[in-house]
Amino acid sequence: MSLLRRTHRKFTSVTTPDQAAVTTHTLVTPSPESLGFEETSVKKVHRPIYLDMQATTPLDPRVLDAMLPYLTQQYGNPHSRTHAYGWEAEKAVEKARAHVAELIGADPKEIIFTSGATESNNISVKDLNTFAESIRPDTSLVSIMTVNNEIGVTQPVEEIGRICRSKKIFFHTDAAQAVGKIPMDVNKMNIDLMSISGHKVYGPKGIGALYVRRKPRVRLEALQSGGGQERGLRSGTVPTPLVVGLGEACRIAKEEMQYDSMRVKKLSLRLIDGIMSRVQHIVRNGDPNANYPGCVNLSFAYIEGESLLMALKDIALSSGSACTSASLEPSYVLRALGTEDDMAHSSIRFGIGRFTTEQEIDFVVERVVQHVDKLREMSPLWEMVQEGIDLKSIQWSQH
């Protein structure tokens, strides 16, 4: 049996739903056998529905199309200035740099390619702290996440930037969860440094970018020495295929942001209303009036979040940030909001994205309702709550 199958899927390139231009792409998708699943004539095992978009997004097939030539025929080093292979690779890199810059309202010369947002954060924060302290003792750096990756809360970036600029303080933001999903303008928001991640915007893994303001100029020290590429801040050969992928992902995001935003918001409301209208004692974590709708974090009282995750094996979900997934401690984000440990442990993050469908959301709602009810039926705490007992009034015996 062939391990590859061809499927047809429609993708829409739009700025508004009324301007939709639909094209059909032929995709090659792996069969269950090639992914380690056993497929029999009695029962077919399918891959889970993916709702973990804050951990990573799927590669947009249009991004892959843009990358493929630079993985095969056009494989030149973009820093080779003596032949056509290098020239065409350099042209592709600079085109991608322009796409990234356009998405955030920057000058292409202010974009530095890195391996991802983590490296961009390190270059920005570590060096600027040292730089600021070397000027005067009371100089400081403000660094925030534009969109929180656990609860989706958005920060008032423009107001923060205005305050920082008035006090001549550098302002850095980790915009990995924001770029391509909500409008970002580095000049309007007075952002001096911004970290961007490719795989959070339907681009490839292993590539990111750092925006570094030129006027007023932000001076940084490179973390590593080498050939002096990327304005001397990030030495090493720029990976052309990955950079092209990031550039194409940013180009698509700029064109389709309005449409994607409307669609994700609609699916988010469908998910939240579907679950909360049928299940009691659920808390939505974060500020519903200042959030990115594609990140929905819910706490289900009287059950363990990990137990619910295990029960929902046909849905790919998360209980929090993939960056801190090795820790068994309750989410520090939820605890900072004043959430008690039991509710923090019962939280589930639902990540909705560009390729999520209404049918998938409806399936998830049914499964969540089914398994929450089932787990609560097995919980003695739930039985006590049903009997009207206030759990906080109980003095538990210690052994």
pLDDT in tens, 181-198: 999 999 999 999 999 999
Determine which helix (DSSP H) or strand (DSSP E) holds 349, and give its type and residue range: strand 347-351
- How would you write 372-396 as a 3-class SS string? HHHHHHCCHHHHHHHCCCCHHHCCC
Q: Where in the chain is the domain with CATH 3.90.1150.10?
A: 257-391
Instruction: Please give the residue that has the higher pLDDT: either 320 or 336.
Output: 336
pLDDT at 12: 42
Give the closest residue to 91 by CA, choosing from 244, 251, 246, 245. Answer: 244
Task: With beta carbons less than 8 A apart as the criterion, state whether 99 and 250 touch.
Answer: yes
pLDDT at 62: 96
**Structural fold of domain 62-253:** Aspartate Aminotransferase; domain 2 (3.40.640)
Mean pLDDT over each residue of the chain, to the nearest integer: 83
Catalytic annotation present for 250: no
Instruction: Please give the residue that has the higher pLDDT: either 217 or 36.
Output: 217
pLDDT in tens, 103-133: 999 999 999 999 999 889 988 877 655 544 4
Residue 59: CB atoms within 10 Å: 17
Q: What is the CATH code for 257-391?
A: 3.90.1150.10
Per-residue pLDDT at 381 exceeds 70: yes
Torsion angle defined by CA atoms of residues 9, 13, 14 and 18, in that order, rounded to the nearest 10 degrees: -40
Provide the 3-class DSSP secondary structure of residue 5: strand
Query: For residue 8, what pLDDT band results from cuts at 50, 70 and 90?
Result: very low
Mean pLDDT computed over 305-322: 85
Q: Where in the chain is the domain with CATH 3.40.640.10?
A: 62-253
Query: For residue 53, what pLDDT band results from cuts at 50, 70 and 90?
Result: very high
Catalytic annotation, pick one of 164, 250, 295, 323: 323
pLDDT at 342: 77
Instruction: Please give the residue that has the higher pLDDT: either 175 or 233.
Output: 175
The pair of three-digit structure tokens given for residue 216, joined into one six-digit string:
């007023």
Give the closest residue to 149 by CA, choosing from 315, 331, 372, 345. Answer: 331
- Residue 169 CA: distances (Å) to CA of 46, 140, 176, 190, 272: 52, 6, 22, 11, 39
